[in-house]
Amino acid sequence: MEIGIIGLPQSGKTTVFNALTQGSVPLQGTGGGKVEVHRGVSKVPDARLAHLGQLFAPRRVVPAEVRYIDIGGAHAHKGVGEARLTQIRPATAIGVVIRCFAAPHVPHPYGRIDPLRDYQEVMGELLISDLQVVEGRLERLKKSVRRGEKASREELELLERCLTCLEEEQPLRTLSFAPAEEKLLRGFQFLTAKPLLIILNMDEEQIVGEREELLARFTPYAALPQTAVFPLCGALEMEIAQLDEQDSQAFLQEIGEEESARSRLIRLSYQLLHLISFFTIGTDEVKAWTIRQGTPAVKAAGVIHSDMERGFIKAEVISYETLVKAGSFAEARKQGLLRLEGKDYTVQDGDIITFRFNV
């Protein structure tokens, strides 16, 4: 999973990126007017994986990862800009950083703090960007039809539907698509079709005193499909991300959080994107893998290796809870708790799977 971070200039994107990836990208870009792309990863915290690590004592314990992209460098104008939007088109989801913090020394492109306006500005850019893609493609399709060439009726109708939606200033994720339509749309990488995290970047005082009020302003947007609002204190979380576990707990308590923004955002992203984890075990490594809810065993095998998908025979499955109750893998096997599942078996969160395959 990859989350593309965007927002107005100086909204705190790199600060948030550093908080989420425990990174230390300098807040001032290197200058020179070029678009700079920062990539980072965050390991998905999972107590079950840690426990499996103790149980199997493998050489490596490999958590799942969430990747983040932050685009820095010169801003051509007040908004995000097409050059930056292009960079996040391949991402799975978008995180839009909205400045709530005051910090008078930090300039605001519109000269005044107004979180809702900033949100609408950025959403407007995403809509226009998608609209241009739809219009461009429709024009080409219609030209082919005029030349007497065959154009896909499905595609024409689908894009007309997208066009109407965007012209009504609604994001494409408010539409629902059949699987075949989704497949058709995938190549366009529409920005407004991606799940959206609205990241409200607050001051320490705001997160303690005004959190609910600021969140409430975004309620109508949070209610849109595949949309979630996420409050955090970017500057503080960036510092916390550099601390060890114990010290960070003390800081978090001060702003009334139990968990770092890094962990909270990952959990929210999993919910938003309907993701679950399954585990593979071995003496070499115990590893967590991320899939969508409802993924059949054969596709889950493909996440590990395409050979495993192609040569899939069976999946040997036990749930995490069942394994823990049995105490050990050997005991679970003795009690006959391991199930053999076929390729259509729907993988469940926390399944521990050994794939049998043949290539």
Ligand X SMILES: Nc1nc2c(ncn2[C@@H]2O[C@H](COP(=O)(O)OP(=O)(O)OP(=O)(O)O)[C@@H](O)[C@H]2O)c(=O)[nH]1
Contact residues for ligand X, defined by CB under 6 A = 7, 9-15, 27, 72, 75, 101, 103, 106, 201, 203, 233-235
Both tokens of 175, joined, read: 């539409």
Residue 2 binding target from Mg ion, ligand X, none, CB below 5 to 8 Å by type: none
CB of 125 to ligand X, least distance (A): 14
Residue 9 binding target from ligand X, Mg ion, none, CB below 5 to 8 Å by type: ligand X
Task: Report DSSP letters for 201-235, one per residue.
Answer: E--HHHHHHTHHHHHHHTHHHHTSTTEEEEEE-HH
Helix axes 179-186, 153-167, angle to 10 degrees: 80
Q: CB nearer to Mg ion: give 14 or 129.
A: 14
| Site membership for Mg ion, residue 11 (CB under 5 A) | no
CB of 239 to ligand X, least distance (A): 10
Residue 195 binding target from Mg ion, ligand X, none, CB below 5 to 8 Å by type: none
Q: CB nearer to ligand X: give 115 or 302.
A: 115
CB of 74 to Mg ion, least distance (A): 11
**How many whole angstroms separate alpha carbon 263 and alpha carbon 250?**
16
Q: CB nearer to Mg ion: give 23 or 296.
A: 23
CB of 222 to ligand X, least distance (A): 20
Residue 338 has what DSSP assignment?
P
Residue 277 binding target from Mg ion, ligand X, none, CB below 5 to 8 Å by type: none
Q: CB nearer to Mg ion: give 13 or 287.
A: 13
CB of 78 to Mg ion, least distance (A): 15
CB of 15 to Mg ion, least distance (A): 8
Q: CB nearer to Mg ion: give 78 or 142.
A: 78
Work out the widest C-alpha separation in the chain, in whole angstroms.
70
Residue 315 has what DSSP assignment?
E
**How many whole angstroms separate alpha carbon 149 and alpha carbon 156?**
13
Return the residues of window 206-245 that contact Mg ion according to CB under 5 A: none
For tokens 């989704």, what's the residue? Answer: 182
Return the residues of window 49-108 that contact Mg ion according to CB under 5 A: 72
Pairing of strands 196-201, 227-232: parallel
Q: CB nearer to Mg ion: give 10 or 189.
A: 10
> Identity (one letter) of the amino acid at 247?
D
For the chain, the C-alpha Rg in angstroms (whole number) is 23
Show the 3-state SS of 144-205.
HHHCCCCCCHHHHHHHHHHHHHHHCCCCHHHCCCCHHHHHHHHCCCCHHHCCEEEEEECCHH
Candidate ranges 5-13, 160-168, 316-324, 339-347; the one touching Mg ion (CB under 5 A): 5-13
Q: CB nearer to Mg ion: give 25 or 255.
A: 25
Q: CB nearer to ligand X: give 103 or 116.
A: 103
CB of 257 to ligand X, least distance (A): 14
CB of 239 to Mg ion, least distance (A): 17
Q: What are phi and psi of 215, to 5 degrees?
A: -60, -40
Return the residues of window 14-53 that contact Mg ion according to CB under 5 A: 14
Please name which of 297, 302, 306, 275 lies closest in space to residue 352, comparing C-alpha atoms.
297
Q: Give the 3-state secondary structure of residue 323.
A: helix
Q: Which residues bind Mg ion (CB under 5 A)?
A: 13-14, 72
